[in-house]
Chain A
Amino acid sequence: MRRTLVSFLVVVAVLGFAVVGYGQEEKVVLKYMTWVNALGAEWIQEDFIEPFQELYPHIEIQHEYVPFAEYWRKLMTTYAAGNPPDLMHMSVGYVYDYADRGILLNLEPYFTRDLSLEEYYAQPMKAVRYPNMETGDLYAMPYAFVMSVLHYNKDMFDAAGVDYPTDDWTWDDLLAAAKALTKDFDGDGKIDQWGFFFQPNYYTLDAAIYSFGGRVLSEDLSTAIFDSPEAEAAVQFLVDLMWEHKVSPSPQVYHGIGNLFEIGNAAMVIGNMADLDVYRNIDSFDWDVAMVPGGPATKVVRMWPDSIAIASSSKHPEEAWEYVKFMINSGKIDRYSGQRKMPIYRGLAESDEWMEYDKVPDKSVYIRAMEYGHPLDFRPNWGEWSAAREAQLEPAFLGQMPVQEAIRNAVEAVQEVLDDN
């Protein structure tokens, strides 16, 4: 017994010296938190962390990953415990609120010192600028982004003799095509093939409101203004797709089923480009990707990034920034986000390697969509007000309340959140 105790103490002492020894070599340890699963963690480890550590042997990255649903809880806890990570993945829905609380490092000086904006896609980067989307500083660095796109089932278009969507499609063109594509094959009064499937979520709804000439929030982000005639026309148009023209399934039809396009029951769908991961496995029909349609006022493609941020409390901001730079431009397509999201670094996104990466869709449409791109209002308290808005607009999409009334309730609910700080 005593002998084991002694040997135990010896081991502890040796380990202790070893640790002190490391300290003398000025080894920098960076704590790094992400929201991935085990496979994603493996990709991050092999495609980012390991090659980075080879380049910078004095930096050690301690990666901790949690599922997205638990990520924010966990991140908050590390702050409460006074032990936040140096590097953390950051979502568009939170970057404003976190920057507002002063816990993120302003990356603007680092960015202007080391990189040049022309080499990156500026539009999605607006999402992480604070306080203003156009003129503010970067408080996180996007590494990849997604955009809303129109996916369509080529087989259904061919069978109905409808021309494929084009870049200059408007919502009216989409409606006309959807009418021709909506079918009740067996004549039982139940629609078997829907022309257009969409869910009235933040990227479909908000982009539609802007494309009809409306806005969701006022420019200073203090007022909910989607009760303008333009915004109302946009919501009315979307509701009419379900209830007036009956070319789109209502929530009653798709609840619990999920994506009707994926299972071959709808000819078109507005989704985000990360759906590529799922659609890539479809072999029962041919599909392709097009730009979302424009409205009477303009065309808006909502695009929003996944980013990485540095804690303002980090003791090693320079080393952390090195990792950020490595991540956004590691020189090759990483497996973590590179396959299904667009790299923020233009050199990589526009390279033949990325464009050819998977053969199915014509990816040049993403590049052409950039000129219409904007992140729109993911701020402030976005999670709370967008949930409040969705709940109040839902009766309109369920066909149980006039659009005007639902919008009035929604504006009131959103305003309540905006006023509440």
Chain B
Amino acid sequence: MLRKRFKSTIGIYGYLVPTIIGLILFNAGAIVASFVLSFYKYDVITPAKWIGLDNYRWVLNSKLFWTAVNNTFKFAAGYIPLSVFLALGLAILVNERIKGVGLFRTIFYLPVVTSMVGVSMVFAWLFNPYYGLVNYVLGLFKITGPAWLSSPQWAMPAVILVSVWKTVGYYMVIYLAALQNISPELYEAAQIDGANRWAQIRHITIPVVSSTTFFVVIMCTMSSLKIFEQVYVMTQGGPANSTVTVNLLIYRNAFEYLRMGRATSMAYFLFAAIMIVTCIQFLGQRWWVHYE
């Protein structure tokens, strides 16, 4: 019996080996190497030179880095709540048994599988203040739209909107799975007690899917602190550095400005930020997350 168990454990580890080797070689290796490099002046093409904490000191004193931190948190502050609310809302809607619901699910999910580069180019057109469709439609309601991507004040909100539109379908699907696991008896009982639709959502749906919400919030937090692609394609960090994010700065320093050492020290700041925020979220979950 014991031997059999041992054998199957070996088997399980056997299956894990390829992944673990990959992780050690390509992830853990890179993580350790970049930590070491963050203490070096390193441009990749010539040998690295030890400079102690200089990279970290530079990063802390860099105005541009703090602008990037500020922008990144601004993005997170807009993106996370919008994604969670919209994803849950859409999931509740497409959980209804109505005709053509499959079509709606597909439509909302479609942006997730669309290339970000294409999406960004199309939205750059749509957001154009002079020729674009967004401000044209706003104009029909007698609203003068902002300059969106060419305005330092509105570029980040525009990037947030596009990002939410692009990814909300993914979180919708996750919520949908959670919703379909809710036992219908709960709703029946509530109905008998006279709870209306809104009360049912508030007192049954939201608490029951709170563990899913926790997961979605964590995922959204991580992806928003790492935001790169959208700003790289849509705004290149502009206008006037209003959409420069930490990850964009890391990329440019590492691969465009020949400052790999400095880029790795920024990456460690980012890593620390994600770590701390995620820990806080894990600690905070006991006040609002319910597991069945």
Query: When the two chains form the complex, which single residue of A76, A190, A253, A255 contacts B124, counting CB atoms closer than 8 Å?
Result: A255
Q: Is the CB of B239 within 8 A of A73?
A: no
Q: Is the CB of B255 within 8 A of A251?
A: no
Distance in Å: Cβ of A99 to nearest Cβ of chain B: 11
* In the complex, A359 has a CB within 8 A of chain B: no
Q: Which residues of A contact B123 (CB under 8 A)?
A: 256
Give the most central of B125, B147, B240: most A CB within 10 Å: B240
Q: Is the CB of B150 within 8 A of A391?
A: no
Q: Is the CB of B150 within 8 A of A79?
A: no
* In the complex, B188 has a CB within 8 A of chain A: no
Q: Is the CB of A79 within 8 A of B44?
A: yes
* In the complex, B271 has a CB within 8 A of chain A: no
Q: Which residues of B contact A398 (CB under 8 A)?
A: 147, 150-152, 239-240
* In the complex, B130 has a CB within 8 A of chain A: yes
Q: Scan B240-284; emit 1 where CB is below 8 A from any A CB, else 0.
A: 110010000000100111100000000000000000000000000
Distance in Å: Cβ of A222 to nearest Cβ of chain B: 18
Measured in the bound complex, the distance between the Cα atoms of B151 and A390 in whole Å is 15
* In the complex, B238 has a CB within 8 A of chain A: yes
Q: Is the CB of B125 within 8 A of A76?
A: no
Query: When the two chains form the complex, which single residue of B126, B132, B152, B255 contacts A400, counting CB atoms closer than 8 Å?
Result: B152
Q: Is the CB of B239 within 8 A of A394?
A: yes
Q: Is the CB of B45 within 8 A of A387?
A: no
* In the complex, A115 has a CB within 8 A of chain B: no
Q: In the complex, how many residues of chain B place their beta carbon closer than 8 angstroms to a beta carbon of chain A?
A: 33
Query: When the two chains form the complex, which single residue of A72, A101, A253, A392 contacts B130, counting CB atoms closer than 8 Å?
Result: A253
Distance in Å: Cβ of A130 to nearest Cβ of chain B: 15
- Residue of chain A at shortest CB distance from B132: A256
Q: Scan A302-327; emit 1 where CB is below 8 A from any B CB, else 0.
A: 00000000000000000000000000
Q: Is the CB of A76 within 8 A of B44?
A: yes
Measured in the bound complex, the distance between the Cα atoms of B62 and A388 in whole Å is 13
Q: Which residues of A contact B291 (CB under 8 A)?
A: none
Q: Scan B14-52; emit 1 where CB is below 8 A from any A CB, else 0.
A: 000000000000000000000000000001111000000
* In the complex, A77 has a CB within 8 A of chain B: yes
* In the complex, B127 has a CB within 8 A of chain A: yes
* In the complex, A415 has a CB within 8 A of chain B: no
- Residue of chain A at shortest CB distance from B155: A255
- Residue of chain B at shortest CB distance from A390: B238
Query: When the two chains form the complex, which single residue of A73, A80, A190 contacts B255, counting CB atoms closer than 8 Å?
Result: A73
Q: Which residues of B contact A190 (CB under 8 A)?
A: 130
Q: Which residues of B contact A391 (CB under 8 A)?
A: 237-241, 244
9 contacts between A and B (CB under 8 A): A79-B44, A101-B46, A256-B126, A256-B132, A394-B152, A394-B240, A398-B147, A398-B151, A398-B239
Which B residues have a C-beta under 8 Å from some C-beta of A? 43-46, 58, 64, 121, 123-132, 147, 149-152, 237-241, 244, 252, 255-258
With A101-B46, A254-B130, A384-B257 already in contact, 5 other A-B pairs whose C-beta atoms are closer than 8 Å: A251-B150, A256-B127, A257-B130, A383-B257, A388-B64
